[in-house]
Structure 1
C-alpha cells in the first residue's frame, strides 16, 4: 500500500545529531569546570589513587586479628610513606638540578652560542635556530626546575587530602566490603566495575613502578660510568617519567643528554642517547607496553592522547594520572552502556564484543528493511524489560511489538 503523505511523526526523542551536540556541549562545560578546579582536583585525584593502591592492606591485617583502628592506621601510614618518598625524590632532584644549572651557566651559554653558529653555517636561521639554541638557555632550564616545584606543591597538598580521605574511606571499608552481599543481585554490575577499576589502577602502578625502578637503576649506573654529572638526579627523572605513557622516555632522555653535551661534547651525548635507546626502548617501548596493555586494556593511541588531554585539564599531575583518569571515564561512561561495545573495543578493551550491538542491529534474514530492524529492536527491548517476569512474558512483549510495527503505515 503506497501513500503520498509524508512520514508519520513518532515520539522517538531527540535525533542522533542533537544528542551528540548536547553531549559535546555538556562535556565541554564539565571539562571547563575541571580545568578551573585543577589546583584542588589534582591533589585530590592523586590522594584517591594512593588510597586505592594501599587499601588492600586492610583486609589481610584484619584477617590476622588486628583491630580496626590499627588496620586503619597502617593504611594511612602506607599512603603517607608513598607520598613522602615521591616528595623527597622530587625535592632532591629539583634542588640538585637547580644547583647543577647554576654551576654550569658559562658552559651552557657557550654551548648555546656554538650550536647557534653551527646552525647558521648549515643555513638554519630565524626562529628554528633560536628555538634549538634556547634549550640550552640557563633561564629556560631553571624554569624546568620551577615546574618540578609545582608538582612538589601538588604532592604536598595531597598530604592533607590523603589524611581525610584515607581516614573516612578506611572507616567505611568494612561497610563497603559487604556491598556485594547486600546489593549483589541488584547492583552487581556496578560493584563489579568499581572493583575491576580499583584492581586495574593498582596493577598499572605496580607494573610502572617495577619497570621504572629497573630503568632508573640501570640508567643511573650507566650515566655514572660515563661521567655525566648528577646521575642520581637523572635516575630519579627516569623513574618519574616512566609513569608518563609513550612520551616519558623522551622526557627522561633530553636533560641528561643536554648535560652530557655541555660537559663532554657530542661524543658523550651520543653515548647517553645510545644507552637510553638500548635500555629504555627495550624495557619501556617493547616490554612494558605488553604488561600495561594486559593490565588496563588501553590502545597506544588513546594512551598518548590521554597524556596530552589530562595534562591540559589538570596540569602536570595529569600526565602521571592520565591512565587512571581515562580508565575512570571509560568505567563511568562506556561500560554501563550495553550499546557501547564498539567504542570500548576502539579504546583497547579486548573483551568488548559485538554481542550487545547485534541485538539492536539484527534483522530478518534477507529482509534488511527499516521496519524489520525496528520491530526486532523493540521486541528485544520488550524481552529485556520483562526478563524479571520470565522468558515467556518477554517473548509475548516482543511479539506484540512486532505486530504493532507491522500495523504501522
Structure 2
C-alpha cells in the first residue's frame, strides 16, 4: 500500500506545481494590468494610517482622502516639473562627458598598470558613445511627460480603495469558511506590511533628503535628481543603495576628479551605514521574519515577475506570501523555510 500513497502524493505535487506555473505565467503575461493595481494597493496601505489619523481629529473620511490626495497631486506636479528641468539640463551636458573622461581615466591608468592591468585610455574613450546616454535621457523625458496620466489613474484607484476600507472586513468575512482565523491572518499580514511600508517610506524620504543636502553642500550638479533616485531605490533591499550611488559617483569622477569621487563614495557609505545598518533595524524593531537569502532571492523573483515595481515591493509581497502559507498545513513547512529562525516568535 506504500507505493500507491507515494504515487498519489507525487501526483498531487506535480498538479500543484503545474497550477503554480500556470498562475505565474498568467501574472507575467498580465503584468501591465496587475502592476498598477498592486502599486495602488500598497500606496493605499501607506496612506490609510494618515487617513485614520485625520479621522481621529473629526475630519470625515471622504474629505480626509480628498485633502490627502490633493496634497499628493500638488507635490507630484512640483516634483515632476523640477525633475523634468533637471533631466533637460542633464541631457544638454552629456555630450561634454566624453572629453572630460580623459583626465580621470589617465589618473587611473598608472594604478591599473601597477596591478598588472594594461589599459589604453585612447582605446577606452573610443568605445564611449554619448548618443546612447542621450537616447536614455530622451526616453526618460518622454516617459515623464506621460507620467501625469498614469499618476492620475493610480491615485484614482487609491481613492476608491481608501473609500472601500471600512466595508472591506464585512465583505471578506462573507467569503471565508473560518472568518475568525481568516481575518486574524489578514490583519496580521496588513499590520506587517503597513509597519514595513510606512517606516521604509519615512526612512527612504530622510535618506533622499540627506543625500540631496550633502551633495548640494559638495556642489555636485543634479543633486536633487540623485536624492530622488536614492529615495526610490532605497526601497530595493540589499542592492538599492549601491545602485543609487553609481550615477553621482560616475558624474563626479568625470567632471571633478578621482578624489572628489572618493569623497562622494564615502558619503554614500556613511549614509548607508547610518540609515541601513543602524537606524533602520532599530526603528523597524522586530524582524521581518524573512531570512537574508530569501530577501535577496525574492528581489530577483518579483523583479522578474512584475518588473521594477516588483523589486520595490519584493519584501512586503514575500511577507504576504509567507503569512498565506502559514494558514495551511502543507504550506507551513515552506513558510518555515522562508522565515528567519533567529527572530523570536
Normalised TM-score (structure 2): 0.80
The equivalent position to 2:232 in structure 1, one of 240, 245, 259, is: 240
Asked which structure has the greater CA Rg, the reply is 1
Q: How far does residue 224 in structure 1 lie from its aligned partner after superposition?
A: 1.8
Q: How far does residue 276 in structure 1 lie from its aligned partner after superposition?
A: 0.8
> RMSD between aligned alpha carbons?
3.9
Unaligned runs of 5+ in 2: none
Unaligned runs of 5+ in 1: 1-6, 355-409
Cα distance 1:168–1:206, how it changes in 2: closer, same or farther (>3 A)?
A: closer
The equivalent position to 2:48 in structure 1, one of 52, 55, 69, is: 55
Please name the residue that 2:198 is paired with.
Answer: 206
Question: Do the aligned residues in 1 keep the contact of 2:98 with 2:125 (CA within 8 Å)?
Answer: no
Question: Do the aligned residues in 2 keep the contact of 1:151 with 1:317 (CA within 8 Å)?
Answer: no
The equivalent position to 1:106 in structure 2, one of 80, 96, 109, is: 96
Cα distance 1:275–1:58, how it changes in 2: closer, same or farther (>3 A)?
A: closer
1:24 equivalent in alignment to 2:14: no
Question: Do the aligned residues in 2 keep the contact of 1:311 with 1:319 (CA within 8 Å)?
Answer: yes
Please name the residue that 1:93 is paired with.
Answer: 83
Cα distance 1:55–1:158, how it changes in 2: closer, same or farther (>3 A)?
A: same
Q: Distance in 1 between matches of 2:171 and 2:341?
A: 28
Question: Do the aligned residues in 1 keep the contact of 2:287 with 2:343 (CA within 8 Å)?
Answer: no
Q: How far does residue 166 in structure 1 lie from its aligned partner after superposition?
A: 3.0
The equivalent position to 2:118 in structure 1, one of 118, 123, 128, is: 123
Question: 1:267-297 CA deviation, whole Å, 9 max, x = no partner?
Answer: 1111100111112223213442454572632
Q: How far does residue 137 in structure 1 lie from its aligned partner after superposition?
A: 4.2
Q: How far does residue 48 in structure 1 lie from its aligned partner after superposition?
A: 0.9
SS in 1 for 2:8: coil
SS in 2 for 1:294: coil
Please name the residue that 1:389 is paired with.
Answer: none
1:36 equivalent in alignment to 2:29: yes
Q: Distance in 1 between matches of 2:204 and 2:272?
A: 10
Question: Do the aligned residues in 2 keep the contact of 1:102 with 1:138 (CA within 8 Å)?
Answer: no
Cα distance 1:131–1:218, how it changes in 2: closer, same or farther (>3 A)?
A: same
- More moved, 33-42 vs 344-353: 344-353
Question: 1:240-260 CA deviation, whole Å, 9 max, x = no partner?
Answer: 111111111111101110111
Cα distance 1:218–1:57, how it changes in 2: closer, same or farther (>3 A)?
A: closer
Please name the residue that 1:71 is paired with.
Answer: 61
- More moved, 233-242 vs 342-351: 342-351
Please name the residue that 2:270 is paired with.
Answer: 278
Question: Do the aligned residues in 2 keep the contact of 1:215 with 1:239 (CA within 8 Å)?
Answer: yes
Q: How far does residue 114 in structure 1 lie from its aligned partner after superposition?
A: 6.5
Please name the residue that 1:338 is paired with.
Answer: 329
Q: Distance in 2 between matches of 1:346 and 1:53?
A: 28
Q: How far does residue 335 in structure 1 lie from its aligned partner after superposition?
A: 1.8
Cα distance 1:350–1:263, how it changes in 2: closer, same or farther (>3 A)?
A: same
Cα distance 1:132–1:284, how it changes in 2: closer, same or farther (>3 A)?
A: farther
Q: Distance in 2 between matches of 1:241 and 1:181?
A: 37
Q: Distance in 1 between matches of 2:248 and 2:281?
A: 24
Equivalent residue runs for 1:234-383 within 5 Å: 234-289=226-281, 291-292=283-284, 294=286, 296-332=288-324, 334-348=325-339
Normalised TM-score (structure 1): 0.68
Question: Do the aligned residues in 1 keep the contact of 2:40 with 2:157 (CA within 8 Å)?
Answer: no
